[in-house]
Amino acid sequence: MNAAVILFPGSNREGDVARALRQATGRAPTIVWHAETALPPGVDLVVLPGGFSYGDYLRCGAIAGRAPIMDAVRAHAARGGLVLGICNGFQILCEGGLLPGVLMRNRDLRFICKMQHLRVERADTRFTTAYGSGDVVKVAIAHGEGNYETDEDTLKRIEGEGRVAFRYCDAAGVVGGAANPNGSTNDIAGVYSEKFNVLGLMPHPENLIDPLVGGIDGRGMFASLAAA
């Protein structure tokens, strides 16, 4: 698994995801500067990390979605290459046209950082083979704008095509209600592209890779990718 992490000005969880990738694959990912126009040769996985790219001024992810490197990322995705966008990376994927929908401000209009349970909707994608379908995993969330919205038709389509990757739930796996931290439509925490090679999610599996720091439920995603 050759991974590249895109570094935008204002990215701030690139080190966290690099650590998770290193742990799972045994090798450090290449860090790619946003102003580059090509990915390093032989890259299998491109990661857009969390943070506040370009300060998230204008709209979250809007400027980064149009950064020079993003044409190369779109081409990589079009070739079927793996792309993972976490938090700000998810926002960038939506703004960059790689995933449908948009991330609005949280329902309570506050930034929220806490541990959150997710239900793994399917375990047959290259991001989730190490999990079981319906598994409940604990990860971290840390965002002010994670309230996923789409128009009705798109929602029907992504639900119909099984493209919801994770839903917010409580520790017992019950989806929705108070377990939804940000007001996301259908409790959606992450979505796939049509071909399931692009995943965007708001939570941070990369911060749950260590029993000493919250737990290890996030390892599954990186283990899945390492085996992909």
Partner 1 sequence: MSRNEPAITPQLVAEHGLKPDEYDRILKLVGRVPTFTELGIFSAMWNEHCSYKSSRLHLRGLPTKAPWVIQGPGENAGVIDIGDGMACVFKMESHNHPSFIEPYQGATTGVGGILRDVFTMGARPVACLNLLRFGSPDHPRTRGLVAGVVAGIGGYGNSFGVPTVGGSVGFHTRYDGNILVNAMAVGIARADSIFYSAASGVGRPIVYLGSKTGRDGIHGATMASAEFDANSDEKRPTVQVGDPFSEKLLLEACLEIMGKGCVIAIQDMGAAGLTSSAVEMGAKGNLGIELDLDAVPCREEGMTAYEMMLSESQERMLMVLDPAREAEAEAIFRKWGLDFAIVGRTTDTKRFVVKHGGEIKADLPIKELGDEAPLYDRPWVATPPKPVVDAASVAPPVSNRAALLKLIGSPDLSSKRWVWEQYDHLILGNTVQQPGGDAAVIRLGDGPKGLALCTDVTQRYCDADPVEGGKQAVAEAWRNLTAVGARPLALTDNLNFGNPEKPEAMGQFVGCVRGIGEAARALDFPIVSGNVSLYNETQGRGIPPTPSIGGVGIVDDVTKIATLSFKAAGESIVLIGATRGWLGQSCYLADICGREEGAPPPVDLAAERSAGDLVRQLIGAGHATAVHDLSDGGLAVALAEMAIAGGVGATIEAISGLPAHAWLFGEDQGRYLVTARPDEAARILDEATKAGVEARIIGATGGDSLTLPGEAPILIADLGAAHEAWFPEYMASVR
Q: Is 212 in the site for partner 1 (CB under 8 A)?
A: yes
- Sort 58 into a burial class: Cβ within 10 Å, 0-12 / 13-18 / 19+: exposed
The residues annotated as belonging to the active site are 87, 204, 206
What sign for the dihedral angle of Cα 175, 155, 125, 74? Answer: negative
Among 55, 68, 97, 162, binds partner 1 (CB under 8 A): 55
16 binds partner 1 (CB under 8 A): yes
Q: What is the DSSP letter of 100?
A: S
| Among 91, 184, 197, 207, contact with partner 1 (rule: CB under 8 A) | 207
Q: 192, 4 in Cβ contact below 8 A?
A: no
Alpha carbons 184 and 211: distance in angstroms, whole number:
29
Interface residue with partner 1, options 28, 40, 57, 75 (CB under 8 A): 57
Q: Is 195 in the site for partner 1 (CB under 8 A)?
A: no
In the window 77-96, what residues touch partner 1 (CB under 8 A)? none
- In whole angstroms, the minimum distance from the beta carbon of 94 to partner 1 comes to 19
State which H helix or E strand residue 30 sits in: strand 30-33
Q: How far is the CB of 158 from partner 1 (least distance, A)?
A: 28
Query: Which of residues 82, 92, 140, 189 is near partner 1 by CB under 8 A?
Result: 140
Distant-in-sequence, close-in-space partners of 116: CB < 8 Å, separation ≥ 6: 138, 139, 140, 141, 168, 181, 189, 203
Write out the residues near partner 1 by the rule CB under 8 A. Answer: 9-10, 12-13, 15-16, 19, 50-52, 54-57, 110-114, 140, 142, 144, 204, 206-207, 209-210, 212-214
